[in-house]
A and B are shown apart, each in its own frame.
Chain A
Amino acid sequence: MADIIFKTQGVTKVYDTGELKVYALDGVDLELFKGELTVLLGPSGSGKSTLLNILGGLDHATDGRVWFDDLELTDMSDRGLTRYRRDHVGFVFQFYNLVPSLTARENVQLVTDVAPHPMPAEEALDLVGLGKRMDHFPSEMSGGEQQRVAIARAIAKRPQILLCDEPTGALDSTTGVQVLEVLRDINERFGTTTVVITHNAEIQRMAHRVIFFQDGKISETRINAERLAPSEIAW
């Protein structure tokens, strides 16, 4: 079995609105493995995104412990988390979150400017098949292209982990498949541990490992003996 890259112990996240406490995560114990593509599945509000934010160092857990390799993220300072994100994590979001005033190339450079061992922005864009659209602004690109820029931006730093929150959520089926293909390609070519959040059940079929969420807890973990190529998936 591969090495563990993420490990959580009783991770809990409580949103206290004053009148009532909302448990977004309720004692999650989890292990993720190096080089795997994991899909987190579950309905809205089941805690997937909260967990992804905690794993990515965007948020702190209310309770419980989190490790990345040997690095414990649990009580890490803001500065430490920034460092961690800068050095190890790549993010892909549902709404791409590109900076509208920067071209595709410059959006990627945003990362390569601060990452320790980045690949050239052009190479990252080539990898996602956008080598010819590098100097276009986000407003001049389709949704699928924008998402691929976002992926290029995430992988340009050669991250150990790629965290994707609903990467196909805003895309139609055909474009969504193209994006998934890029993700799988990256995962296979670089062995980048990839975590994909989705509430689209079809996507689980391309994962090594599928984790089901329900009410802030893991309800089931499944390992796919046989994975499908994205092109074989449709929704």
Chain B
Amino acid sequence: MQAIDKKLLRDFRRLWMQAIAIALVLACGVAILLTSVGMYSALSETRTAYYERNRFADVFVHTTRAPESLLPEIARIDGVLNVEARISGDAILDIPGRVKTAVGRVLSYPEDREPVLNVPLLVQGRFPNPMVTDEVVVNAPFAEANGFEPGDSFSANLRGQKRELTIVGTVLSPEFVYTIGPGALMPDNTSFGIIWMSERAAAAAFDMTGAFNDVAIAVAAGLPTAPVIDAVDDLLEPYGGFGAYDRTTQQSDAFLDAEISQLKGMAAILPPIFFGIAGFLVSMVLSRIIALERSEIGLLKAIGYSNTEVCLHYLMLAGLIALAGVLLGWGAGTVLARSMANQYAQFFNFPFVIFRVSYWVYAAAGLAGLATTSLGAAHSALQAARLAPAIAMQPPAPPRFKRSFIDEMMARLRLTQPTIMILRSLLRWPLRSFLTSLGLALAVASVIASIFINDALNEIVDLAFYQTNRQDAMLIFSDDVLETTLEEARTLPGVLQAESQQFHTAILHKGHLSKRVAVEARRPGTDLSRVIDASGRLMTAPPGGILLSIRLADQLDVQAGDVIEAEFLSGRREAFDLVVTGLVEQHFGLGAYMDLAFLNALFRQAPQLTTVNVTLDEHQTEALHKAIKELPELSGLIEMTENRQSFQDTIDQNVTVMNTIYIVIAVLITVGVTYNAARIQLSERARELASLRILGFDRGEVSYILVGEMMLIALIAQPFGWLIGAWIARTMTNAFTSDVYAIPLVLQPATFTSASLVVLTASFVSVMIVRRRLDRLNLVAVMKTRE
């Protein structure tokens, strides 16, 4: 090894604390890049492979009842590759040992063949014998959550017919990667399951012999789905088609897609920030090293080392730091990506996970880390190369301080000399002070960006669960029933309060824009399910019009007062022109609201209801569940209390993990910036501070100069951090807005306070660690050393 390389390694060892502080920041960037890209490719590759192997359909449609004779016509539509017709329906399940009822989505399984589309994958057992009507297979997560094994049985209320069903196998299906029950916000596998039974049994249960009510269609690769959707809708219209939709609206795929695009966003936003900060830190540290090694640089050149060799020498120091950071990042990223992949595998029901972070991702992450640190080092290294040897051998000229109006101000304020030293140093190197401040501001911002999500989600939950939907449970019926059923519901055991609500799928049109939504209708003055806008105001949909959520109005480009066409896919499938009577700002879903009496009048029918919202006496839960198991029209009971709890739990868990990660990140950035800045301060001022000690200043007074300047920079960083944090939060709310939800921008004073506390504390601790070196300062040696 050449002597100059030994110097490199020893310099690196001497600087290891500073190097590690930088390497950790860089490692964060590399690890996040690996994790997000790794997860992104794992999820999307797994999805693609799973969909392909199990032939996931492209277009889906539900209809009231269509004859099987229609199938060849659907198959003849241009672009249609395959058609799978099924019978589907919901049923209330009575699970042995469970007080509360569960909801099952029943799907028919073809008798003498494998399904051509949405092929369920057998996990355990076998498929149902077509000749035995009480055999079923269920989705594996449901079986697992309820402790079912093949051979176990449960009973189901199939359209008023109570049937004992025996589980003969468990499966996974590409249709239900993310399984979420009707009215639920989070997957709950104990209370919602998918049940496949033989076509014959399903037809008998739902009165569909010779007919179907659910179609899945595969479209030839590369062809658009829109023409197929139009053609299918035309064919099914006479049979009560509810409007075909493609994968983007298919619940399970839509959730998966939202997750995948979030990962993509994460890969694009976060790593560059870390790389940037690491680059800045390298540039800061290296420029100081080069200032300190001025005479060594001169010497190397005098001996005959070329400019390129000198430049490379310092670039390699940055390269070593980058190498440490990249290696750490690779390690952490690999572990993190793998554990996240396993977590995803549990959250999403995949039969397998293709986890493979390709080498190019590692290479790209490594190169990006190396490139940014080299870029950070480039300026200093070039400066070293440009230093003329004769000049380098001389001590640098003392920094120029000039008198300015600020000095007069300081004089007038009668500041102490140490305070003046602090302020002059800040003003003498404004760019460096600014960049140091910016680094700390980014740390503050990263905490704000994570904490605000917590508040935002709390606001969503509060609005959605405690202000909008206040019912304890929802009774769901297979079809709309007369509103008089409300009276029956009120007589159920434990029901304290019952209110009607109606849901109708409709396509809203305005000009060339259209959107498929569920229109909610309710009576004015209802108390359990209400329309509440973002500011907590109670809104009522007046008769004669429709109330739209702002995000829906934006998608349709309509204002209050405009007229839209609502094409209802249920009932007589009529279209009406409706005045948009108002807009509601909402975080959840794309809401459209009407007056129940007005809607039924439009439909020219006696008032009906789809669900009954109830409040319950919890002491009578058992009696209630027992009673509803016997109600034929009921297809489900959604427990909102459970729903709220599971949603809250999931959010709390995720938020805790997120906050921890971001606070660790903020602390790493802060330590990286403060520790390095303080070390540089100390090395530049060692002589100055030692002189002060010799002149009779005590340790506290001398420490004040070092700690004071760093903490002043940290304080200055706070308002910038708040601004940047608020800006990142706003960007995130915009980026994360989808049809499913909008994240509100909730910025509480407490958020700013906590962020500042985290960063100021980390700053203080870092600078105090450096301060300890002041105590070890050898006064005589410092004074003797040639500058």
Instruction: Give residues in A with beta carbon < 8 Å to B.
Output: 53, 56, 58-59, 78-79, 82-83, 85-87, 89, 91, 93, 95, 97, 99, 101-102, 106-111, 113-115, 153, 157
The 8 A CB mask of B280-316 against A (1 = contact, 0 = none) is 0000000000000001101111111111010000000
| B7 and A85 contacting across the interface, CB-CB below 8 Å | no
Q: B residues engaging A (CB < 8 A)?
A: 2-4, 6-7, 10-11, 14, 295-296, 298-307, 309, 388-390, 393, 786
Task: Choose from A56, A83, A95, A106 the contact partner of B3 (Cβ within 8 Å).
Answer: A106
Choose among A79, A93, A114 the residue with the greatest number of B CB atoms under 10 Å from its CB: A114
> Which residue in chain B gives the minimum CB-CB distance to A109?
B3
Which label, helix, strand, loop or mixed, suits the secondary structure of the B interface? helix
Q: How long is the Cα–Cα vector from A29 to B96 in the complex, in angstroms?
A: 112
Please report the C-alpha to C-alpha distance between residue A214 and residue B425 in the assembled complex, in whole angstroms: 40
A106-B3, A110-B4 in contact; A97/B298 too (CB < 8 A)? yes
Expressed in whole angstroms, the Cα–Cα distance for A97 and B10 within the complex equals 17
Docked CA distance A24–B298 (Å): 20
Question: Are the CB atoms of A85 and B393 closer together than 8 Å?
Answer: no
Sample of 20 further A-B pairs with CB below 8 A, known A85-B304, A91-B303, A109-B3? A56-B302, A58-B388, A58-B389, A78-B307, A82-B301, A83-B304, A85-B303, A95-B295, A97-B299, A97-B393, A99-B299, A101-B10, A110-B4, A110-B7, A110-B303, A111-B303, A111-B304, A113-B3, A113-B4, A114-B304
**Closest partner residue, chain B, to A98 (CB atom):** B299
| Cβ-defined contact, A95 with B786, below 8 A | yes
Q: Which residues of A contact B305 (CB under 8 A)?
A: 82, 86, 114
**How near does chain A come to B455, taking the closest CB pair, in angstroms?**
51
CB proximity of A75 to chain B, nearest CB, Å: 16
8 interchain residue pairs of minimum CB distance? A86-B304, A109-B3, A101-B10, A59-B390, A58-B390, A53-B390, A110-B3, A58-B389
Chain B, Cβ-Cβ closest to A137? B10
List chain B residues, Cβ under 8 A from A99. Answer: 7, 296, 299
Query: With a CB–CB cut-off of 8 A, which chain B residues contact A86?
Result: 303-305
5 A-B pairs whose Cβ atoms sit less than 8 Å apart in the complex: A58-B301, A58-B388, A91-B299, A106-B7, A111-B304
Are A85 and B14 CB-contacts (below 8 A) given A53-B390, A78-B307, A99-B296? no
* Bound: A87/B786 CA distance, A: 29
C-alpha gap A175/B152 in the complex (Å): 98
Cβ–Cβ < 8 Å partners of A107 in chain B = 3
Q: What separation, in Å, do the CA atoms of A79 and B302 have in the docked complex? A: 12
Complex CA gap A102/B10 in Å reads 8
Chain B residues, CB < 8 A from A97: 295-296, 298-299, 393
Residues on B with C-beta less than 8 A from A115 are 304
Q: Which of B7, B296, B303 is in CB contact (< 8 Å) with A114?
A: B303
From B14, B300, B389, residue with most partner A Cβ within 10 Å: B389
**A86 CA to B309 CA in the complex, in Å?**
13
Distance in angstroms between the alpha carbons of A93 and B295 in the assembled complex: 11
Q: Which residue of B lies closest to A112 (CB)?
A: B3
Is B304 a contact partner of A79 (Cβ separation < 8 A)? Answer: no
Inter-chain CA distance A83–B301, complex, in Å, is 10
* Chain A residue at minimum C-beta to C-beta distance from B302: A91
Query: Cβ of A82: which chain B residues have Cβ within 8 Å of it?
Result: 301, 304-307
**B302–A58 contact, CB under 8 A?**
yes
- Which residues of A have CB within 8 Å of B389? 58-59
Does the CB pair B300–A110 fall under 8 Å? yes
With CB as the reference atom, state the residue of chain A lying closest to B781. A139
Given contacts A101-B11, A106-B3, A110-B4, A59 and B388 within 8 Å (CB-CB)? yes
